Amino acid sequence: MKLSDHILLWNHAYIKIMDVRFTTMEEEEEFGPYRLPTSAFLYTKRGSAQIWVDKNRHMVQPFHVLHVGKGVYIEIVAEKEFEYYMIFYKAILSLPNRQEIVALLENNNPFQYQYAFAPYNPLALLDKAEQMHRTWLQSFDKDLKNLHIKSLFYQYVFELLRQMHAQGIHPVKQDIVAEAVRYIEEHSHKPLTLDQLAQELGCSIGYLSKLFKEKMQTSPIHYLGEIRVNKAANLLVQTDATLQEIAEHVGYPDGHSLSRSFKRHKGVSPAQFKVEWRQKQQVEDEELPLWKRRYAILPKQFEWYIDDEIENHYQRKGASEMSKYKNMKVKAMTLFMCLSLLLAACSNTTNTNGASPSTTKQVETQANSGQEASQEGQTRIVSTPRGDVEIPAQPQRVAADQYMGQLLKLGIIPVGVREGMLTEGWIKKSGIPQETIDKIENLGNFPMNPEKLIMLEPDLIIGSIEKNIEQYEKIGTTVFIPYWEELSTAGPLEKFRKIAEVFGKEQEAEQWIEEYEQKVEDARKQIDGIIKEGETVSVVQLSPTGLYVLAAEGGNYGSNTIYQMLKLPPTEQALNMKEGFENISLEVLPEYLGDHVFVYVNSQEDAEEILNSPIWQGAPAVKKGNVYMYGEFDDEFVMEDPYSLDLQLEKIVKVLLEKQ
């Protein structure tokens, strides 16, 4: 921050002195950690000490100045007898004020900045600090005393800024996000709101949310939920406490609130999480040799934290060597499997060109053992964005990092899929037996786990992200079907047709599409007249990472069902978006809202700040009640497979009819 801006804001601020203290510490005496309730100046008078301001250490001698913002932790260790003054104050911007001043304070709050230096004329500052302390201890008229102290404080600040300017000292901006994270973690068991958190850190709600989302990729309230749920998960598996007891301990009012939040963050209910954890532990214990089982329940060996890797490498050499040995084993096994697959592929090629009876018998044996081999003439060519690919005519072992719903609708049960697909919101409402889902292997996140892929021996891999395709191609035949193109997604029916073409099941796909389009036509008749002629519709997504308005084409989260299927009229902005969505600020939101607004949220907690804001409440659609809260993350609006599309259509119609 420029020192000139620093001085400008001091000129426009209203100051209230909260306390003036003088403290003497004995040699080696310790103070703190102490969380500052307001901003403060610390001025050293005698002795020396180490002062930690959060993680920053300052070695101070007589006549050092420190400035620390509200909410910061301070810790002092006296090296010699140590004396210092502490001046606590609050500063707010007096209103009304120029917009540029307000914006400057919003982005660069000097009352939260940290700085420490030795002034070239220390006695001038010492004189003002001593006068303030003496006045603070006097018992004459309160208003007169406050006026005197405030005048002395301004003289202190003037002298300080004058010397900072002369010495070229520049304040350092406080890491508000780090302070917010620390405060959330320490107070997660207490009722905590975004407004309260912003007040504790001396900044606005909007500024805190913006910084937090940029650095943490989530909102403060969502992060609070994660902290609470993780603590609850540990208590679930480590204690026999009831759900109500755990809820009260981690910061929820009751077990129902904890259960809802737990499901949102973990994907399963607390009870299911506990059962799955116990089953996993039992399986791991059973897989261990009997003589090792008693050691498996012991805590893990303490891992040394070593800051100097070079100087102290000998302290963990044994562990490092063991890790290298294990990595070599994994790599060797992976290489062996790859060579095996390569040899098998060569064998298949030889058989196609006229294999010997012994080779044919070997292929038949492999097929009988569950390994399907392509025979002569049983391949097809499919076109992809990366060129033509020769694939088995009837793939038997399919792995995919996307499109599980499309595959199942076509009667294809994949051998493995990406982890997130196994918990998609449509599964429980689809009628698919759980036993079918249980047959599908969890292959981790993007990109799918290569070792697991090799073990499954897929004869066809479907990838949706181009940067992962080369890795998949090293393992088996791979078809690239992009789910996203830049920041837009293709229409769901078009995606379904592409999947069907790969497997030669175009007829099955068209039959479902015909039935679906008839449902859409019936749905339009049901909602006819709710959106009046000339009125427009917008679709808004409220996420921890920002505020999004979805486009008329290329969006997701049900926007395709709303715009393309039900033909609800989009706004001009939605029609003209170059991508599938736009990330906008709250201030310009009214420009994007139509006469009717469909709202999709990551969670109700994350949406509260926007939904309660004056800007949102003042929008015409909101005032008229034309707002439709149609979905929440992890439901049927996340994906665009046939199962999800049926559920989306049903939900949108239901929401509109209920509102009517």
- Separation between Cα atoms, residue 118 and residue 288, nearest integer Å: 63
CA angle 136, 140, 144 (to 5 degrees): 80
CA 114 to chain centre: 29
Decide: residue 287, CB within 10 A, 0-12 exposed, 13-18 middle, 19+ buried. Answer: exposed
Task: Walk across the sheet containing 546-550 and list its strands.
Answer: 581-584, 546-550, 537-543, 596-601, 627-632
- Separation between Cα atoms, residue 458 and residue 467, nearest integer Å: 20
Of the listed ranges 347-351, 460-464, 496-500, 524-528, the least confidently predicted one is 347-351
Contacts of 170 (CB under 8 A, 6+ apart): 1, 3, 115
Of the listed ranges 112-126, 351-365, 418-432, 472-486, the least confidently predicted one is 351-365
Of the listed ranges 3-17, 261-275, 495-509, 614-628, the least confidently predicted one is 3-17
Between 27 and 279, the higher pLDDT residue:
27
* Digit-coded pLDDT (tens) for 98-119: 566 666 656 667 788 888 888 9
The whole-chain average pLDDT of the chain stands at: 80
Domains 378-482 and 512-659 share a fold: yes
Quote the CATH superfamily of domain 378-482: Nitrogenase molybdenum iron protein domain (3.40.50.1980)
Of the listed ranges 36-45, 288-297, 401-410, 457-466, the least confidently predicted one is 288-297
Of the listed ranges 428-432, 458-462, 494-498, the least confidently predicted one is 428-432
Task: Please tell me the predicted confidence (pLDDT) of residue 269.
Answer: 85
Residue 352 has pLDDT above 60, yes or no: no
Between 195 and 419, the higher pLDDT residue:
419
Architecture of domain 512-659: 3-Layer(aba) Sandwich (3.40)
- Separation between Cα atoms, residue 363 and residue 229, nearest integer Å: 52
* Digit-coded pLDDT (tens) for 435-445: 899 899 999 88
150 to 155, 165, 461, 565: CA distances (angstroms):
9, 22, 73, 67
For the chain, the domains span 3-167, 179-278, 378-482, 512-659
Write out the two tokens for 146. Answer: 């406050």
Q: Cis check for the bond before 385: say yes or no (omega within 30 of 0).
A: no
Residue 345 has pLDDT above 70, yes or no: no
The answer to whether 599 touches 606, Cβ cutoff 8 Å, is no
Q: What are the backbone angles phi and psi of residue 599, rounded to the nearest 5°?
A: -120, 125
* Digit-coded pLDDT (tens) for 367-393: 333 333 334 448 888 988 888 888 998
Q: Which residues pair with 462 in a beta bridge?
A: 400, 479
- CATH 2.60.120.280 correct for 3-167: yes
Between 182 and 438, the higher pLDDT residue:
438
* Digit-coded pLDDT (tens) for 125-176: 999 999 999 999 988 788 888 899 999 999 999 998 888 888 887 665 566 7
Q: Which residue has the tokens 């940067």?
A: 467
Instruction: Annotate 5-56 with DSSP letters as a single string.
Output: HHHHHHHHEEEEEEEEEEEEE-TT-EEEEEE-SSEEEEEEEES-EEEEETTE
Task: Please tell me the predicted confidence (pLDDT) of residue 30.
Answer: 92
Q: Could you give the dihedral angle defined by the CA atoms of residues 487, 491, 496 and 498, in that order, rounded to the nearest 10 degrees?
A: -70
- CATH 3.30.479.10 correct for 179-278: no
- Average the pLDDT over 582-602 and give the result: 91
Task: Please tell me the predicted confidence (pLDDT) of residue 270.
Answer: 87
- The string over 471-489, giving b where at least 16 C-beta atoms fall within 10 Å of a residue's C-beta and e elsewhere, is ebbebbbbbbbbbeeeebb
H helix intervals, 587-637: 589-592, 604-611, 614-617, 620-623
**DSSP summary character for residue 304:** P
Give the confidence band of 302 by pLDDT, cuts at 50, 70, 90: very low
Give the confidence band of 604 by pLDDT, cuts at 50, 70, 90: confident
pTM: 0.47
